[in-house]
Amino acid sequence: MAAFPLFRPLGPDSSQDHVHPPPLHAIDAPRSMIQEIRRAAKMAITLGRLLDLRDILTSGAENDAMDEGKQMIQLRF
């Protein structure tokens, strides 16, 4: 039975590869693929901002509805 090392030795740059991936322009990929990644990232950021805005507006409307409900209860008594 052969013994396998539990940890493989790391070279000087191999540990940094996982911590700091190369920038998009350094990746050996077609320009169209890089442009598609950038476009998708921009859309995701925009969609995230819209969802955040929707959450803010929705929670404000819910709070207004709760306040109106409290006022109606107070008027009945």
Q: What is the pLDDT of residue 14?
A: 52
Model confidence, pTM: 0.34
In a domain, 18, yes or no: no
**Structural domain of 55:** 29-76
In a domain, 35, yes or no: yes
In a domain, 57, yes or no: yes
Q: What is the pLDDT of residue 1?
A: 47
In a domain, 6, yes or no: no
24 within 8 A of 38, measured Cβ to Cβ: yes
CA-to-CA dists, residue 56 to 13, 64, 69, angstroms: 45, 12, 20
Amino acid at 34: I
**Number of folded domains that form the chain:** 1
pLDDT in tens, the chain (77 residues): 455 555 455 555 555 555 666 665 566 667 787 788 788 888 877 877 777 777 766 666 555 555 555 555 555 55
d(CA 39, CA 33): 10
In a domain, 36, yes or no: yes
In a domain, 43, yes or no: yes
Strand stretches in 3-77, DSSP E: none
d(CA 73, CA 75): 5
